[in-house]
Amino acid sequence: MRQQLEALVVEMVDKGIRFAEAKREFEKRFITRVLQQHRGNLSRAAKDLRIHRNTLGKKIEEYKLQQ
C-alpha cells in the first residue's frame, strides 16, 4: 500500500496538483467510503473517522456528499 500511495503522490506532484486540492479530494473519498460502509449512518461513520458527528455533517454539506 505504501508503494501505491507513493506512486500516487509522485503522479499528483508531477501533474501540478496542489496540496489543498489533493487533501480535499482524499478527504471526500475517504468520508464517502466510510459512509458507504455504514450505509449512511452518521454516528457510526463519525465514530470510525474519530470526528464529531456535527463535523461529519459539515463535511458532507461542504463536499455535497450523498448519505
Domain that holds residue 22: 2-63
Q: What is the mean pLDDT of residues 34-60?
A: 97
Looking at residue 66, its pLDDT comes to 80
Per-residue model confidence as pLDDT tens digits over 7-43:
999 999 999 999 999 999 999 999 999 999 999 999 9
Residue 43 has phi, psi (to 5 degrees) of: -65, -45
Q: Compute the distance between CA of residue 53 and CA of residue 35 in angstroms, rounded to an integer.
A: 12
CATH of residue 37: 1.10.10
Q: What is the mean pLDDT of residues 40-64?
A: 97
Question: What's the number of domains the chain is made of?
Answer: 1
Residue 6 has phi, psi (to 5 degrees) of: -60, -45
